[in-house]
């Protein structure tokens, strides 16, 4: 039997340890990066029907923004070598259209090749410019931060017959209308562990505040409401006798004095005895105080002695008395 107990205890300890290790690995000490969210977003141009000047030496950058309600969360992978955090934004552009206008009117209209894109990342504490690597925008951040918005700047290079236009004005009708996919990465790095510790500390603080809350205004209703489903109205037969002491104590805790009225034998008249406390207080004020002081002290002493004895008796393993069942 002892061996069985030992085996069960050992299995329990191993199980709890395994669960604890799994929890720590998956929630606290995990250092791998997983794709958190993959969102398909619609990139759109907010510069339609605007006129910009473009030169070969100074191509204009047209701003293309995400929808304002996107507000992407941190999308970060940690570069182990340089301690950077990378935000990867794969993109593709499918169409663009513009017209070139000079003093003589429109002389060129058509699609242009947009094979370059620059992105401007707005984060808390600073701005960062991204680089374009084979259709993937890569942002590098020193720290894990909340990304407020990502703004694309599309450089406009105009060329006809394989040569750039030296000076021109461009009516941009539609720069791009494309679908991009943003992959958000999260790393369980040190910052995440710190966040989890902060969450744990917050929960501990909530518990501490709850324990130290001395507002007990709702305690009475809560305590009494807990036992609403129990009824003590039926005390018939044997159960009534068994539970009689408890009914007596229960009645004692909720008793209040009411004048006693009973018929007087042989005279056939009702006698009413008033409550005695007001009479005592009126006629024996000082003596009553002294009497109550002494009786309270004696009863308190008696209760303490008895309670001490009861606690010692409960601690004895051979003591199996149940006072409730002792008639």
Name the residues that contact another protein, by CB under 8 A.
4, 216, 219-220, 223-224, 226-227, 230-232, 234-260, 273, 275-277, 280, 288, 291-292, 295-296, 299-300, 303, 306-307, 310, 314, 320-325
DSSP strands (E only) in the chain: 33-45, 50-55, 61-65, 77-79, 84-90, 97-102, 105-110, 118-123, 126-129, 131-133, 136-141, 147-155, 159-160, 163-164, 167-174, 177-187, 260-264, 269-273
Residue whose CB is less far from another protein, 80 or 273: 273
Residue whose CB is less far from another protein, 10 or 42: 10
Residue whose CB is less far from another protein, 134 or 220: 220
Residue whose CB is less far from another protein, 58 or 221: 221
Q: What is the closest distance, in whole angstroms, from the C-beta atom of residue 233 to another protein in the complex?
A: 10
Torsion angle of C-alpha atoms 76, 80, 82, 88, degrees rounded to 10: -30
Q: What is the closest distance, in whole angstroms, from the C-beta atom of residue 7 to another protein in the complex?
A: 11
Q: Name the one residue in this structure whose structure tokens are 């699609």.
A: 111
Residue whose CB is less far from another protein, 256 or 268: 256
Instruction: Give the CA distances from residue 193 to residues 86, 87, 199, in Å, rounded to whole numbers and listed in that order.
Output: 19, 20, 10
Name the residue among 76, 63, 65, 67 with its Cα closest to residue 146.
76
Name 276's Cβ contacts closer than 8 Å, sequence gap at least 6. 257
Residue whose CB is less far from another protein, 19 or 257: 257
Q: What is the closest distance, in whole angstroms, from the C-beta atom of residue 5 to another protein in the complex?
A: 9
Q: What is the closest distance, in whole angstroms, from the C-beta atom of residue 206 to another protein in the complex?
A: 23
- Which pair of tokens denotes residue 18? 């395994």
Name the residue among 67, 89, 93, 91 with its Cα closest to residue 139.
89
Asked whether 93 and 117 are in contact (CB, 8 A), the reply is: yes
Q: What is the closest distance, in whole angstroms, from the C-beta atom of residue 285 to another protein in the complex?
A: 12
Residue 120 forms beta bridges with which residues? 129, 151
Q: Name the one residue in this structure whose structure tokens are 């030496």.
A: 57
Name the residue among 164, 124, 128, 176 with its Cα closest to residue 145.
124
Q: Could you report how far apart the first and last alpha carbons of the chain are, in Å? A: 38
Q: What is the closest distance, in whole angstroms, from the C-beta atom of residue 10 to another protein in the complex?
A: 16
Q: What is the closest distance, in whole angstroms, from the C-beta atom of residue 312 to another protein in the complex?
A: 12
Residue whose CB is less far from another protein, 102 or 289: 289
Residue whose CB is less far from another protein, 162 or 258: 258
Residue whose CB is less far from another protein, 68 or 222: 222
DSSP 3-state assignment of 85?
Answer: strand
Q: What is the closest distance, in whole angstroms, from the C-beta atom of residue 298 to another protein in the complex?
A: 9
Residue 79 forms beta bridges with which residues? 84
Q: What is the closest distance, in whole angstroms, from the C-beta atom of residue 6 to another protein in the complex?
A: 14
Cα separation of 206 and 198, whole Å? 12
């Amino acid at each position: 039997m002892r061996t069985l107990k030992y085996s069960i205890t050992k299995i329990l300890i191993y199980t709890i340890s395994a669960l604890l290790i799994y929890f720590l690995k998956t929630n606290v000490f995990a250092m791998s990066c997983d794709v958190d969210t993959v969102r398909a977003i619609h990139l759109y141009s907010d510069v339609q029907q605007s006129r910009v000047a473009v030169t070969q030496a100074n191509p204009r950058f047209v701003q293309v923004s995400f929808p304002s309600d996107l507000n992407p969360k941190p999308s970060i992978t940690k570069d182990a070598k340089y301690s950077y955090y990378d935000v990867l934004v794969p993109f593709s552009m499918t169409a663009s259209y513009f017209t070139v206008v000079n003093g003589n009117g429109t002389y060129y209209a058509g699609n242009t090749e947009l094979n370059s894109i620059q992105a401007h990342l707005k984060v808390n504490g600073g701005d960062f410019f991204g680089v374009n690597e084979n259709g993937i925008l890569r942002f590098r951040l020193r720290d894990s931060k909340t990304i407020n918005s990502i703004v694309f700047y599309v450089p406009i290079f105009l060329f006809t017959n394989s040569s750039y236009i030296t000076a021109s004005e461009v009516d941009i009708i539609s720069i791009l209308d494309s679908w991009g996919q943003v992959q958000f990465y999260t790393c369980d790095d040190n910052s995440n562990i710190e966040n989890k510790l902060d969450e744990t500390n917050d929960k501990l603080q909530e518990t501490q505040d709850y324990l130290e809350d001395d507002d007990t205004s709702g305690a009475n209703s809560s305590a009494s409401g807990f036992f609403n489903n129990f009824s003590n109205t039926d005390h018939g037969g044997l159960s009534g006798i068994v539970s009689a002491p408890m009914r007596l104590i229960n009645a004692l805790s909720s008793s209040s004095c009411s004048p006693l009225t009973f018929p007087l034998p042989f005279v056939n008249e009702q006698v009413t005895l008033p409550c005695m406390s007001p009479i005592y207080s009126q006629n024996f004020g000082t003596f009553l105080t002294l009497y109550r002081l002494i009786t309270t002290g004696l009863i308190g002493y008696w209760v303490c002695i008895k309670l001490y004895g009861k606690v010692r008796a409960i601690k004895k393993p051979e003591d199996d008395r149940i006072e409730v069942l002792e008639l």
